[in-house]
C-alpha cells in the first residue's frame, strides 16, 4: 500500500528541535507522527525560518507536489531572511537580531530592528498569511493543521476588550505595540478590533493550539542542545496533534 505524503514546514521546532539525528527519530514530533500514521515525511523546515519564508515555501511545495496532509508550525514574529543580489541565486542569510557575522547583514539588522521592526504590522501580516494559506489549502482540498511555535500576541489581543469606559485584559504588551499613551481610545479600539477580526477569520478547528499554550511553553525540559523544547514538550504536542488529526478521519 502506497504511503500518504506529509509536508511539514516551520523553523527549528519543526526541523530538528535541537535533537541529534538519533534522538530526533525517537522524540521529535514530525518523525513520530509520520511513523504512527504511516506517512512519508517531507520536512521542509529550516532553523530560524521567518513566517514570510514559511508562507512562501509552503505554497511552493504544494504547487510542485501533491500532499495528503500539510502541517505548518509558525515561527516567532520579526525574523527576517535576506538574499544577497551579487554572486547569489537563492542562498539565504538570517538577519535575526544580527545573528549573522556578515558586516552588511549586521548593519542591516541594526537599522531594521532599531527603526523598522513594527510589532503591529508584523502581527497583521502574519495573520493575513495564515488566512491566505488556509484558503489556498482549502481550495486545493488538502488536509491541513497549523500550530503556534510562539505566542505572537494572540493571547493578549484575544482577551482585551473595552467596556464601561475601561480596558480589560493584559494591556501591557499591547500598550507598547499601539503607542498607547499617544492615541485616543477610538483609535486603539479600531486597531484592536482589526486584529481580533483577523484572528476570528482563522479556522480554529484546524489549529492545534490557537488558544492554548504555544509549543515553546509546553514544558521546561530541553533537547540535546539545551535550548529547544525537549522530549516532554514534543510528547505533549504530538498528543495534541494526534487528537486534532483524528477529527479529520
pLDDT tens figures, 166-178: 888 878 889 999 9
pLDDT of 1: 67
Give the Cα separation of 39 and 7 in Å (integer): 9
- 99-111 burial, b at 16+ Cβ within 10 Å, e below that, comes to ebeeeebeebbee
Domain limits of the chain? 4-78+117-152+204-246
- Cell representation of residue 123: 502581527
CATH number of the structural domain 4-78+117-152+204-246:
3.40.50.1110
| Residue 120 scores a pLDDT above 90 | yes
- Cell representation of residue 223: 533537547
Confidence of residue 142 (pLDDT cuts 50, 70, 90): very high
pTM above 0.85, yes or no: yes
Helices (H) and strands (E) in the chain, counts: 10, 8
User: 197 and 128 in contact (C-beta within 8 Å)?
Assistant: no
pLDDT: which is higher, 185 or 98: 185
Torsion sign across C-alpha atoms 27, 16, 154, 200:
negative
Report, in angstroms and rounded to the nearest whole number, the Rg of the chain calculated over CA atoms.
19
**What angle, 0 to 180 degrees and rounded to 10, lies between the N-to-C axes of helices 231-246 and 29-36?**
40
Residue 182: half-sphere exposure toward Cβ, Cα within 13 Å: 4
| Residue 125 scores a pLDDT above 80 | yes
pLDDT of 97: 73
Give the Cα separation of 95 and 83 in Å (integer): 10
Tens of pLDDT, residues 181-205:
999 989 999 999 999 999 999 999 9
**What angle, 0 to 180 degrees and rounded to 10, lies between the N-to-C axes of helices 119-139 and 185-201?**
30
- Cell representation of residue 155: 493571547
End-to-end CA distance of the chain: 18
- Cell representation of residue 194: 482589526
What percent of the chain is modeled with pLDDT above 70?
99
Bridge partners, 9 (sequence order): 72
Tens of pLDDT, residues 66-97:
999 999 999 999 999 999 999 999 999 999 87
pLDDT of 19: 98
Amino acid at each position: 500500500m502506497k504511503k500518504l505524503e506529509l509536508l511539514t514546514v516551520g523553523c527549528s521546532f519543526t526541523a530538528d528541535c535541537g535533537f541529534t539525528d538519533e534522538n530526533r527519530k525517537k522524540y521529535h514530533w514530525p518523525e513520530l507522527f509520520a511513523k504512527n500514521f504511516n506517512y512519508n515525511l517531507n520536512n521542509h523546515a529550516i532553523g530560524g525560518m521567518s513566517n514570510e519564508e514559511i508562507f512562501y515555501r509552503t505554497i511552493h511545495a504544494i504547487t510542485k507536489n501533491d500532499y495528503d496532509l500539510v502541517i505548518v508550525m509558525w515561527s516567532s514574529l520579526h525574523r527576517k531572511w535576506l538574499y544577497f543580489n551579487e554572486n547569489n541565486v537563492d542562498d539565504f542569510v538570517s538577519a535575526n537580531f544580527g545573528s549573522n557575522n556578515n558586516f552588511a547583514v549586521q548593519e542591516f539588522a541594526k537599522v531594521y530592528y532599531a527603526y523598522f521592526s513594527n510589532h503591529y504590522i508584523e502581527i497583521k501580516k502574519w495573520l493575513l498569511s495564515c488566512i491566505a494559506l488556509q484558503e489556498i489549502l482549502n481550495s486545493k482540498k488538502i488536509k491541513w493543521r497549523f500550530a503556534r511555535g510562539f505566542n505572537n500576541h494572540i493571547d493578549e489581543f484575544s482577551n482585551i476588550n473595552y467596556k464601561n469606559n475601561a480596558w480589560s485584559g493584559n494591556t501591557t504588551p499591547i500598550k507598547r505595540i499601539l503607542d498607547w499613551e499617544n492615541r485616543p481610545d477610538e483609535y486603539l479600539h479600531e486597531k484592536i478590533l482589526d486584529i481580533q477580526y483577523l484572528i476570528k477569520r482563522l479556522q480554529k478547528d484546524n489549529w492545534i493550539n490557537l488558544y492554548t499554550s504555544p509549543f515553546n511553553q509546553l514544558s521546561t525540559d530541553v533537547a540535546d542542545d539545551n535550548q529547544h523544547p525537549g522530549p516532554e514538550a514534543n510528547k505533549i504536542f504530538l498528543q495534541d496533534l494526534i487528537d486534532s488529526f483524528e477529527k479529520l478521519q
